[in-house]
Chains A and B, each alone.
Chain A
């Protein structure tokens, strides 16, 4: 079985010192080790933004795609070979902004993949513009007079779009996040892990301290039922003095690939390319 060090690459990350991505990277490698998969059985797809470099620092198959397009690439890979464990990484700008359409449709599909969103509530690689999760009223480089829109709530969106595993992690608590990512990988279906990630360079409001003072773990509440969708909505709307992290909701629903007859017996990639006989198919044209 693979260990944490098997998923390590001898390359120094380019992220800013103190970046939340380090915590996510640590948690991710740990979760991969926990998953029981080996590096060659894993496919990590990333988008563009600070998070995108994650494929460079994990020893596993990687596909560093383009801005906002993580999920369709991951979907194609998964449909072609559902024996690979597919992890789709995104940033908040990437996944909730330009890639929003794909995000919602991926959840409707319930394809078996883990979707980890590095949510720093800002566009950071492009030096600090507003993102879909930036709070209303916050001045940024692209909204010097304050953001006018209200922020996207990834969790309520996921609840209404059909994701079957919905969680929120915190980059400042890698052991807890590791557990969430490992559960997301193990979950059969589409698993969202929205990760609160401080951006030390551009986001001076949602800092590490900001989150440390506010986050509390849902799993420490013995009365919280992760099968109760309405309760999940309630907690997902909670944001202020207290911010819940952990597993919000989980349900079991057939995955997309369960219902695709042609990949039930074997992955597409194992079917022969040569020798396809179209003689019978041609009869319909006579």
Chain B
């Protein structure tokens, strides 16, 4: 069983909230879910959509076709009728079908439902049309209304019993309308499964949960889509987990406060999108030069400049790799789904502290704002690296914060101990942190810092290979394309080509050996990326000297659908 549902209408119709309630209703029925949202940079008006895809197996992505479309206005039908599955159906707010059937194909069933009137009759707010629509959806697919009712009860219990009751009445009215008028349903059947209740989590929330589990106590940020979700989540958790969440005056302050907090001994993090990260770049170098641990999430969206503020792209890989002047070690991670977001946050804090370097978690709008069902999260054990405790410091006579060591890692302390007074310096400095221009010292300090990369590289998780060990073609990618690629591989299963997929989870230090090995053993390689210049392919060329054979690129501000990838792979195979 697989079912793809989309609700669409103007911004301000409450579409975002309603989609999530359906995702959770399916998850509570033991199903797997993936959802994706599209919206313009507007508070009211424009066109918003929320797609919920559910199945009895794990779902990795949204999809390019719609089984059931809920149209809160007519525009939704016109914009999405071409995406309808051949036997799909459309629910729309109205009393009856218009004669021209909105020009929709004859095989598509239309279900008019007077959502506005239903809500009005029950004395509800216009925004509750969504609730009635979900009730109607549940009736049409033969799903369990009580799962939705229980969810509404949980969602609104903090408001009042009246709110819970009113919402449940509206949901039931929508459900009853369809049961009375279309008792045969839509022909699509979605049934609850094993009953295991999975969490429905966005990438932003998964990063936030990972940060909390990692003992992050300080989060400073300036709002910017699509990173804002992380700010909202952590701000709401501030008192539950004893953190300080600071909405700063700008992104410069955000990263600098995180650096200050980290220098003072607290696990600290900041996040932004590319535009905000541009402002943070100078301070990224400050963290590097002072060897202050730092975790930064960069949630990509299409640039340059303001670009497409609420859409997706993965065009900042080269930027974060090289951001800030000079050479210094850093880590760039690119989780591909919610589980990996959680893990990345845990590892990021460990790596930042162990190697005293900036760690960048590269995500994007598609990843941070889509929700996925997860069974649970396994926290990464905390490792603070060489952090000297006070007992150790008691016995030290001359503490050198930037001591030359074989690993390049100088034992760190938490400032405040009598014997641990030192200077963190943005200027090149000696082992004590004092400004020094001496050429020999400069060379030694550069080598000391860069030496960390060798040890770091050995510790990073290797790229993941999905599918058979050898295949007709090997897809190479990173980040949120993981989901659509995994789904595309399922679509290609019945074709006569075998496909495997190398997901590069950690992009810097670049996993040269494994990528080289896989490319060497591959017959045909295709780089799949959500950007215009195939940034990963360029990196592969740079670090392995090898050329990827073909490229599948998309940069219209929207994520790949599985169908698109499968079709383009088939095309490459045909013509390539």
**Chain A residues proximal to chain B, CB less than 8 Å:** 11, 38-41, 43, 45, 48, 53, 55-56, 59-66, 69, 72-81, 83-84, 101-102, 105, 260-263, 268-269, 271-274, 276, 278, 280-282, 285-286
Contact = CB atoms under 8 A, between A and B. Distances in A.
A282 B243 contact: no
Nearest to B374: A285
B265 A80 contact: yes
Contacts of B424: 62-64
B256 interface: yes
Interface in B240-264: 240-244, 246, 248-250, 252-253, 256-264
Interface in B198-215: 198-201, 205, 209, 212-215
Contacts of A263: 244
A280 B28 CA distance: 17
B239 A262 contact: yes
Residue picked from A77, A78, A269, A285, most chain B C-beta under 10 Å: A285
B153 interface: no
14 contacts: A39-B421, A61-B422, A61-B423, A63-B423, A65-B256, A66-B426, A72-B248, A72-B253, A73-B257, A76-B260, A80-B244, A84-B415, A276-B379, A278-B213
Nearest to B427: A64
Contacts of B200: 285-286
B317 to A, nearest CB: 25
B60 interface: no
Interface stretch (B45-53, B282-290, B326-334): B282-290
Contacts of A75: 253, 257, 260
B265 A286 contact: no
Given A61-B415, A79-B246, A274-B215, A69 B239 contact: no
Contacts of B268: 76, 80
A35 to B, nearest CB: 16
B250 A79 contact: no
A130 B415 CA distance: 37
Contacts of B32: none
Given A62-B433, A63-B424, A73-B259, A260 B241 contact: no
Interface of B: 24, 27-28, 197-201, 205, 209, 212-215, 217-218, 220, 237-244, 246, 248-250, 252-253, 256-268, 282-283, 286, 290, 376-377, 379, 382, 384, 414-427, 433-435
A262 B257 contact: no
A169 B267 CA distance: 38
Contacts of A261: 239
A272 to B, nearest CB: 7
B377 A63 contact: no
B77 to A, nearest CB: 32
Contacts of B240: 280-281
Contacts of B252: 69, 72, 102
Nearest to A68: B252
Given A61-B415, A80-B265, A281-B209, A72 B427 contact: no
Contacts of A272: 215
B199 A282 contact: yes
A265 to B, nearest CB: 9
A165 B218 CA distance: 27
B249 A102 contact: yes
B238 to A, nearest CB: 6
A250 B460 CA distance: 54
Contacts of B238: 262
B215 A273 contact: yes
Given A63-B260, A65-B256, A72-B260, A281 B241 contact: yes
Contacts of A281: 209, 212, 237, 240-241
Nearest to B387: A273
Contacts of B258: 76
B260 A74 contact: yes
B244 A286 contact: no
8 residue pairs, one from A and one from B, having the closest CB atoms = A76-B260, A273-B215, A76-B257, A72-B256, A80-B264, A285-B199, A62-B423, A80-B261
Given A56-B434, A80-B264, A276 B212 contact: yes
Contacts of B212: 276, 278, 281
Contact of B243 (A48, A78, A262): A262
Given A278-B212, A281-B212, A76 B256 contact: yes
Contacts of B419: 40
Residue picked from B242, B264, B268, B283, most chain A C-beta under 10 Å: B264
Contact of A268 (B27, B248, B266): B266
B435 A53 contact: yes
A62 B27 CA distance: 52
Contacts of A105: 248-249, 253
Contact of A76 (B28, B261, B423): B261
A83 B415 CA distance: 11
Given A72-B257, A268-B261, A286-B28, A56 B435 contact: yes
Given A64-B426, A65-B426, A66-B286, A269 B260 contact: no
Given A64-B423, A84-B416, A268 B218 contact: yes
Nearest to B265: A269
Nearest to A270: B265
Given A269-B265, A273-B215, A276-B241, A64 B209 contact: no
A271 B205 contact: no
Nearest to B349: A273
A269 B266 contact: yes
A7 to B, nearest CB: 10
Nearest to B209: A278
Residue picked from A62, A69, A280, most chain B C-beta under 10 Å: A69
Residue picked from A83, A105, A261, A271, most chain B C-beta under 10 Å: A271
B123 to A, nearest CB: 29
Given A101-B253, A269-B265, 9 more contacts: A40-B420, A62-B423, A62-B425, A62-B433, A76-B257, A77-B264, A80-B264, A273-B384, A285-B199
B423 to A, nearest CB: 4
A39 B420 CA distance: 10
Given A48-B426, A84-B415, A285-B199, A69 B249 contact: no
Contacts of A101: 249-250, 253
Contact of B218 (A59, A64, A69, A76): A76
